[in-house]
Structure 1
Amino acid sequence: MREENVTVQSQIKVPATYMRGGTSKGVFFSLEDLPEPAQQPGKDRDNLLLRVIGSPDPYAKQIDGMGGATSSTSKTVIVSRSTQPDHDVDYLFGQVAIDRPFVDWSGNCGNLSAAVGPFAIHSGLVDPDRIPNNGIVTVRVWQVNIEKTILIHVPISNGYVQETGTFELDGVTFPAAEIQVDFMDPSAGSGSMFPTGNLVDDLEVPGVGTLKTTMINAGIPTIFINAEDINYRGVELQDDINNDEQALRMFESIRAYGALKMGLIDKLSEAETRQHTPKVAFISSPQSYYSSSGKEVKSSDVDVLVRALSMGKLHHAMMGTAAVAIAAAACVPTTLVNIAAGGGEKNAVTFGHPSGTLKVGAKANQTKYGWVVEKAVMSRSARVLMEGWVRVPLDTIKHN
């Protein structure tokens, strides 16, 4: 009993829910449940989330926290009742660095977006009158990081969120209920969807060379390059990239110089503090390959192959926001992604990634302001894994 009292006194308990959304996992919080100093942006909030996840960890394992030592599992979400008209909740995403004391607030997580709807319903943040006994409820989400609307179509059975089902998602072992996610107007909030004004750019990267690139800001800022230009085929799996330190340094150089050209940073050194964005992806035309699970992906199953890096490592599947960028770029004629996917006009694309395939729909229109995408649509799934409290040492927040 004495030991338990010491434990309680030396740590604080924070209500939290551990959820899978798409091919990611993260710790979800209701804003009002956070310790008061962490209810506002700043050092106290960042320190809390870092300690919850177990970062910074020089061993890169996050043993002393809830993180899973990958970019897909080092994530946090804060949800609150929306301050925006005609929205149910505000959703703030924090990507927690693994080996450094840094929370990146510069972008969204498309995979965890699918879990925001169920979490909002479980947490009582959606008006009960809007929830049917059986059917679909559309949770209207304001994504705070990028100031965009996301519509999450959550299935309801007997008044409860339906989490189990038969929908299969490559990169996730078990089937679950399908959740359609609509990313509304996912293009850049200000400026062009193609921030350089070009559909294809020459990007000079010292030590690498001059690469043809398509740089797009839709879903999340992304730099697309042809696989063959960097001596890859486009069928690589994680170990092919992540065990090659020289390759990782090359991709980080491409990311940094691309961020500078896209206007996301003012000087090269700022890329260090903006790890979450932009993403780098390499593409190729369809080829047959075996996914990480051993499943054969035939060239006839896909329109294009894409591999993307997240937080300095090749992603095991595909980030949801990067999937939006892929769809948007594929649907604009003459981008590198469009050319690799066979060219011409499109309103959907099926791409191959290390874990399998994914289909994403998008409608691109050319306006007097440039290319815009009205909506990107994909299917994901989500499930509550654990709920209760997380504990962190009392001194994590200095001013409580």
Structure 2
Amino acid sequence: MSAPEGVRCTLMRGGTSKGAYFLAGDLPAEPAARDALLLRVMGSPDPRQIDGLGGGHPLTSKVAVVSGSADPDADVDYLFLQVAVDAPEVTDRQNCGNLLAGVGPFAVERGLVPAGDTETSVRIRMLNTGELAVATFPTPGGRVDPTGTAAISGVPGTAAAVVVEFPQGTGPLLPTGNVRDTVAGTEVTCVDNGMPVVLIPAAALGVGGHETPAELEGDAVLAGRLREIRSAAGRLMGLGDVEGTTVPKLTLLAPPRDGGAVATRTFIPVRCHTSIGVLGAASVAAGLRLPGGVGEGIARLPGSGDRVRVEHPTGFLEVDVRVDPGLPVVRRTAVVRTARKIFDGTVYPRSARAAPTPAQRPGGHHDSAAS
């Protein structure tokens, strides 16, 4: 058998995640063939992903597929694919706001969007949901420059700021129609400001909410309660059977400790996030702005301005969010992220011989509208 053919790829850190970025035209058009290739590229299924690009964790087993957009309101299309680490599964059931930070620079470097003389704004259609975002970043002299002074928690050093702004969404901010619901005997707030999230007071589950991710992952009683809540909340939010999917996320809320508005611990869906996703944080921040939500009495919101500092296990993420609680709708959401190209070249996937094929689960990569 001949050696596997190489595929052009850029490995980038986007926000607090890391993933492989591809032009759509460099991958098979048929989803099953594409996903089978990506499993081989990332080295899945294998807890270490030793034979591929993946880093043995959901946050480093991600893929961005980018192409020019036919939408007049967008410059490029971005499809996010989560590649499971230890199972032959690829899903597009959610967005990734961290890898989103790298889409604009990638599009410029691959010639999909011309660079401005000082900065460039790229309009991005997120194919997972159909929603739009605008990423603005410096391009001095018409070239992407990743160096700068912006720092984000969970990433060492500094880099150029990538300001990502999300226009008002078209879906309901409260998928259940209620600011509070009782799910599996626990009061929660179900919110979707770009990512379906279930907000849960940590104390309601018998934990403090400031534990390390490892401590929370090791709590078998907590894991059982979270599975129960997630299953019931998924149906209540119109997501159907969420077993085997990555949404909704579950975020535990606790009083802040480091000057922020709230402390969070987020599950994706069973691993505890070492930080928090961009879109997840946007949903948390919007949920805290809703009178009557479960964050009341826990969060310490600033007295003025739109900025909400969301604490997470390795620092914080600041979200500018403006909510009209009477409707309720979010009028504006923006975050500052950074991104950096790690390498650009050719990736050689392992041989397709005896390679596992992607699992075909309900709501898998053929159901992109669900998130």
**Structure 2 residue 287 is matched with structure 1 residue 316:** no
2:368 — aligned with what? Answer: none
1:53 — aligned with what? Answer: 42
**Structure 2 residue 128 is matched with structure 1 residue 145:** yes
**Structure 2 residue 244 is matched with structure 1 residue 273:** yes
Match of 1:203 among 183, 196, 200: 183
Mapping of residues 186-225 of structure 1, within 5 Å? 186=169, 189-190=170-171, 192-204=172-184, 210-225=185-200
1:255 — aligned with what? Answer: 230
Q: Find the aligned partners of 1:202 and 1:26 in 2 and give their Cα distance.
A: 37
Q: Find the aligned partners of 1:52 and 1:393 in 2 and give their Cα distance.
A: 7
Runs of 4+ in structure 1 off by over 4 angstroms are: 343-346
Amino acid at match of 2:88: P
Say whether the 8 Å CA contact 1:331–1:347 is kept in structure 2.
no
Say whether the 8 Å CA contact 1:196–1:261 is kept in structure 2.
yes
Q: Secondary structure at the match of 1:15?
A: strand
Cα deviation for residue 394 of structure 1 reads 4.9
2:342 — aligned with what? Answer: 385
Mapping of residues 247-396 of structure 1, within 5 Å? 247-265=222-240, 270-274=241-245, 276-287=246-257, 298=258, 301-342=259-300, 347-366=306-325, 370-395=327-352
Cα deviation for residue 168 of structure 1 reads 1.1
Write the deviation string for residues 231-282 of structure 1: whole angstroms up to 9, x where unpaired: 11121221211233443343233222211121101xxxx32232x2110000
Say whether the 8 Å CA contact 2:40–2:352 is kept in structure 1.
no
Match of 1:92 among 62, 72, 79: 79
Say whether the 8 Å CA contact 2:10–2:20 is kept in structure 1.
yes
Cα deviation for residue 342 of structure 1 reads 3.7
Q: Find the aligned partners of 2:317 and 2:282 in 1 and give their Cα distance.
A: 11
Q: Find the aligned partners of 1:335 and 1:23 in 2 and give their Cα distance.
A: 28
TM-score (norm 2): 0.90
Q: Secondary structure at the match of 1:324?
A: helix
**Structure 2 residue 21 is matched with structure 1 residue 28:** yes
Q: Find the aligned partners of 2:86 and 2:224 in 1 and give their Cα distance.
A: 16
Q: Secondary structure at the match of 2:38?
A: helix
Say whether the 8 Å CA contact 2:308–2:318 is kept in structure 1.
yes
Gaps of 5+ in 2: 357-371
Match of 1:39 among 15, 29, 35: 29
Q: Secondary structure at the match of 1:84?
A: coil
Cα deviation for residue 345 of structure 1 reads 8.4
2:140 — aligned with what? Answer: 157
Q: Find the aligned partners of 2:67 and 2:296 in 1 and give their Cα distance.
A: 38
1:207 — aligned with what? Answer: none
- Evaluate the alpha carbon distance shift between residue 154 and residue 198 of structure 1 in structure 2; reply closer, same or farther with a 3 A threshold: same
Q: Find the aligned partners of 1:365 and 1:262 in 2 and give their Cα distance.
A: 21
Q: Secondary structure at the match of 2:137?
A: strand
Cα deviation for residue 10 of structure 1 reads 2.1
Percent of counterpart pairs with the same letter? 35
Greater strand content: 1
Say whether the 8 Å CA contact 2:119–2:138 is kept in structure 1.
yes
Amino acid at match of 1:248: A
Q: Find the aligned partners of 2:219 and 2:325 in 1 and give their Cα distance.
A: 40
Q: Secondary structure at the match of 2:328?
A: strand
Match of 2:90 among 98, 103, 127: 103
Residue range with higher mean Cα deviation, 307-316 or 21-30? 307-316
1:179 — aligned with what? Answer: 162
Q: Secondary structure at the match of 1:146?
A: coil
Say whether the 8 Å CA contact 1:349–1:360 is kept in structure 2.
yes
1:291 — aligned with what? Answer: none
**Structure 2 residue 203 is matched with structure 1 residue 228:** yes
TM-score (norm 1): 0.84
Say whether the 8 Å CA contact 2:263–2:310 is kept in structure 1.
yes
Cα deviation for residue 52 of structure 1 reads 1.1
Gaps of 5+ in 1: 1-5, 205-209, 288-297
1:290 — aligned with what? Answer: none
Match of 1:168 among 142, 151, 164: 151
Residue range with higher mean Cα deviation, 370-379 or 171-180? 370-379
Amino acid at match of 1:392: P
Amino acid at match of 1:116: V
- Tell me the C-alpha RMSD between the 2 structures: 1.9
1:119 — aligned with what? Answer: 106
1:3 — aligned with what? Answer: none
Say whether the 8 Å CA contact 2:159–2:339 is kept in structure 1.
yes
Amino acid at match of 1:144: L
Q: Secondary structure at the match of 2:53?
A: coil
